[in-house]
Amino acid sequence: MDGKTVRVALLGCGTVGSEVARLLTEQADELAARAGAPVELAGIAVRRPDKHPELPQHLLTSDAAALVESDVDVIVELIGGIEPVRTWLLTALRKGKSVVTANKALLAEYSAELSEAADSAGADLYFEASVAGAIPLLRPLRESLAGDRITKVMGIVNGTTNFILSAMDSSGAGYAETLDEASRLGYAEADPTADVDGYDAASKAAILASLAFHSRVTASDVYREGIANVTSSDIAAAKALGRTVKLLSICERVTADDGTESVSARVHPVMIPRSHPLAGVGGAFNAVFVEADAAGELMFYGQGAGGAPTASAVLGDLVAVARNRVLGGRGPRESAHAALPVRPMGQTPTRYHISLDVADKPGVLAQVAQVFAAHEVSIAAVRQRDRLSTASLVIVTHLAPDAALRATVEEIGKMDVVHEVVSVMRVEGED
């Protein structure tokens, strides 16, 4: 062992923090060998020390701010949320302490400020656990693909919603009971509306788009729809067409006709063919496709949530920052030099699947088709099935600006011949 001991402060000891504490203790010798110096857990900030008889009592404190200011080299932040964590981490970075965090909500809004603080003091800011849990994804984007031009990053990055959608699809299980189960298993956020309303996936999309396109994309730049409005009708409509419903984060480099580039970053439910590789990603697993000019298509797959998988990514970062300190170097800095603007959702090209119950009489299909034509939306496929007095009409469009598709759906919903708009959902993964 050649370096001096790296002293670590752990902030938060819940689902992920408790696994980090366990692995740090159990694997101390291995971690020291990999880092080049002993990695010592110097203190653990918890809200109520008396509630943690399982932890070494001499390490516990309820004063996280004081622990941050104490003689430690690295802060591992696993509390979550914006404040007071943001202030503590800025203080730590400005004093040259390195930070490892899984806090996507914080990074998606304040990564510029945090990175500047890290740069000015020569400290490291690592956050592999913040997106897709255990899956090595951010370091491949930041480092392995630094020589390529990434065009798209698309995937399932929220374990809780994937767990719920998989259950709805396979067993028809209810939404609320499946969400409770996801919380019990440690997948859901402290406030699970962050998962089901798509905020968590939007934060992750912001982090992914920023890294992939060397730009600054914040969570508020990301178009967001969660799964709260996904109904059993949507699931059934998808099944009837050999598709399934997934909540995807989609980050794309969009090139306009005049050659100018922008970034589209969005989170919403989509229908994808059952044959698509993302369709088979079940439970709390995550999977992300990356497309790059030279590399072509890459797929990253693994456990995206849960204590131990997330702790794996945290410890990987911890070894990296400890090694950097031992060797006297730093990891890669934030790279936002391309500064691409964010394209509004309305101008982003998407495709829709629309299921309608319409009056079963001549000319209805032509009337519906006229509305599409009026909005310059071209239809890729139509399927009609007659029932007693109504017909079911399923329409899949070609790519069109999302605003035009929305306007089409709104107008169709108002037509007298349309009895019900049964399901409307964007489509991905088809030619």
Ligand X SMILES: N[C@@H](CC=O)C(=O)O
Residues that bind ligand X (CB under 6 A): 133, 158-160, 187-189, 195, 200, 304-305
One residue of 1, 66, 82, 190 binding ligand NAI per CB under 6 A: 190
Which residues are within 8 A (CB) of 419 and not within 5 positions of it... i.e. 6 or more apart?
A: 356, 357, 358, 359, 390
Rounded to whole angstroms, the Cα distance separating 201 from 161 reads 9
Rounded to whole angstroms, the Cα distance separating 136 from 158 reads 15
Taking the complex as a whole, how short is the minimal distance between the CB of residue 344 and ligand X, in angstroms?
27
**Choice between 115 and 160, CB closer to ligand X:** 160
Closest CA to 106 of 229, 223, 199: 199
Query: What is the H or E stretch that residue 15 is in?
Result: helix 15-26
Closest CA to 13 of 37, 48, 65: 48
From 204, 239, 246, 361, the catalytic residue: 204
Q: Which stretch binds ligand NAI (CB under 6 A): 102-110, 215-223, 267-275, 319-327?
A: 102-110
| 287 is an interface residue for Na ion by CB under 5 A | no
> What x-and-dash track marks residues 369-408 binding ligand NAI by CB under 6 A?
----------------------------------------
Q: Tell which phi-psi region holds residue 130, choosing left (phi > 0), alpha (psi between -120 and 50) or beta.
A: alpha
List the single partner that 158 binds among Na ion, ligand X, ligand NAI, none, CB under 5 to 8 Å by kind: ligand X
Instruction: Tell which positions 384-413 bind Na ion, by CB under 5 A.
Output: none
One residue of 128, 234, 317, 428 binding Na ion per CB under 5 A: 128
Rounded to whole angstroms, the Cα distance separating 323 from 317 reads 10
Rounded to whole angstroms, the Cα distance separating 203 from 297 reads 23
Rounded to whole angstroms, the Cα distance separating 301 from 276 reads 14
| 278 is an interface residue for ligand NAI by CB under 6 A | no
Q: Which stretch binds Na ion (CB under 5 A): 126-134, 148-156, 329-337, 361-369?
A: 126-134
Q: For residue 363, give the amino acid letter.
A: G
- Token digits of residue 328: 């006297």
Instruction: Tell which positions 304-323 bind Na ion, by CB under 5 A.
Output: 313
Sites of contact with Na ion (CB under 5 A): 128, 132, 135, 137, 313
Sites of contact with ligand NAI (CB under 6 A): 11-17, 45-47, 64, 78-80, 102-104, 129, 133, 186-187, 189-190, 305-306, 310
